[in-house]
Amino acid sequence: MQSTERARIEIYDTTLRDGSQGEGISFSVEDKIRITRRLDEFGMDFIEGGWPGSNPKDEAFFLRMQDVTLSSALLTAFGSTRRAGVKPEDDPQLKTLINSRTAGITIFGKSWEDHVVHALRTTLDENVAMIGESVEFLARHTATVIYDAEHFFDGYKANAAYALQCLNAAHQAGAQRLVLCDTNGGTLPDEVVRIVREVRLAIPDALIGIHTHNDSGTAVACALAALSEGAMHVQGTVNGFGERCGNCDLIPVIAAVKLKLGLQCLHLDSLQHLTGLSQYVDEIANLTPDNRRAYVGRSAFAHKGGVHADAVLKGASYEHINPEDVGNSRRLLVSELAGSSSIAGKAAQYGIDLNRKSPEARSLLQSVAEREHEGYCYEGSEASFELLLMRAVGQIFEPFTLSGYRCIVEKRGHDQEPITEATVKVDVGGKERLTVAEGDGPVHALDGALRQALVDFYPAVERIKLTDFKVRVVNTRAGTAARVRVIIDSTNGDQSWSTVGVSENMIEASWHALVDSMVYGLQPSLRVGADATVATAH
């Protein structure tokens, strides 16, 4: 283990290039500019923008970035060494890198003799010359040249002397950073430790970097192992996006560098924005965040077991760091595994004082257990649990009661779309409303009819929008008579929430989730003014 008394660790982000090679990920030029600005605000040291000349999108990006000023990050263009038998000044790809007018350029070259012979189809000596001459040429035109030694670990294990010869050629030619790449993602941490140590001994005055892929599930572990052995520069992507199984995920690396290794990187306050950065990049990539991501996932500090939750509430540690350190927060999950302490702790999060030994707490716990046995799940539908809690302590405002509903689906001919019509009758403060609405399906029609019935009494209904609708079979062995669980996601523009309904009838399950969504969304407006006094209908 190296001493922690050394310079700060450099963080090099390649989300815009390596990350965009991940399956299902495609960034527009505007997306790339937005991500670049966010990475710069976050404090990244380097942002690799792409490979100019390889595609029109990257060419447009670098052209646009010439008018963008970055406050922290150094923007780099990526490319390869010169072609075999071509002088650097005659190589169009190297000229394109220079014309990108970035503050830094990163080029990769071969380190594995097998690739030199079979992929490049040239000699080992020519490959060494390609590396040295390309770096030297680029160093005359840009301030910072970074050399990525592609397949370095595989090449080193096959022929250490040749891999080091290639690396030293880049170093002698003026590359400021030598990055050891585990391009196949097959190297394990103990091998990384050994090889990084030997490289540092062989080229002691070089600044060594690490670039890992996750094909063995060890990309982050290998990167941290390299840093522990004295590497000063780490490359990766936000959320581990990348080809095949992905690249090294910079999110846990950054957290571990600061909180585990005790080393410095990025801005002093960057860590507090780690969760936000992860979510932002997911949003731009149009991907659902992985709740189980280390440090920043929604489940990273979620406690479900009653013993765990009770201990956490008493101050015992079941968390390896403070969630707030990385911009995340603790969550107490309510389920049949929860104890009364979980119920009381959850109530406290909602501003409700509930003694864990009170009859209300024990009754609520029993109710949760019974309902989960029926198929309810409150981990992903916390708004429904909050309504249960408010009802248990008598702090709920019921905006209406259901008198009845009817839903009709009619299909007229094989080439016609079905027609769905819903009728809803509700009682609002002694006033009955009967409304009818059509929709694209039963839930849409019921939602429309319920809104019509309530909007004159509660104008806030217009702000409540359904954003997602999920159905899951609870007991699959029951076949078509199985119980289903419906979860509805809603928003009012300021906050989002999820509600749940369960029944053997999918429309009934949807209705329960829909009603919970409306009741929950209306609670703030009902508390304003006359404490749930129903507004006079127009």
Looking at per-residue pLDDT, the higher value among 250 and 284 belongs to 250
Indicate whether 455 pLDDT > 70.
yes
Looking at per-residue pLDDT, the higher value among 132 and 285 belongs to 132
pLDDT of residue 530: 40
Q: What is the pLDDT of residues 458-504, one digit of tens each?
A: 999 999 998 888 888 876 565 555 788 888 989 988 888 889 999 98
| Distance (Å) of CA 384 to CA 167, 299, 487, 499, 510 | 59, 19, 10, 5, 13
Q: What is the phi/psi pair of residue 407, to 5°? A: -130, 125
pLDDT of residue 4: 41
pLDDT of residue 395: 77
Q: What is the pLDDT of residues 342-386, one digit of tens each?
A: 566 666 666 666 666 677 677 677 677 777 777 777 766 788 888
Residues with Cβ within 8 Å of 442's Cβ and at least 6 positions away in sequence, in order, are 407, 409, 420, 422, 506, 507, 510
Indicate whether 427 pLDDT > 60.
yes
Indicate whether 311 pLDDT > 80.
no
Q: What is the phi/psi pair of residue 75, to 5°? A: -80, 130
Residues with Cβ within 8 Å of 279's Cβ and at least 6 positions away in sequence, in order, are 289, 296
- CB-based contact 266:10 (threshold 8 Å): no
In whole angstroms, what is the distance from residue 110 CA to residue 83 CA? Answer: 12
In whole angstroms, what is the distance from residue 306 CA to residue 513 CA? Answer: 26
Q: Identify the structural domains of the chain with CATH numbers, from first to last.
A: 11-285 (3.20.20.70), 302-392 (no CATH), 401-527 (3.30.160.270)
Average of per-residue pLDDT values in the chain: 87
In whole angstroms, what is the distance from residue 449 CA to residue 424 CA? Answer: 6
pLDDT of residue 286: 81
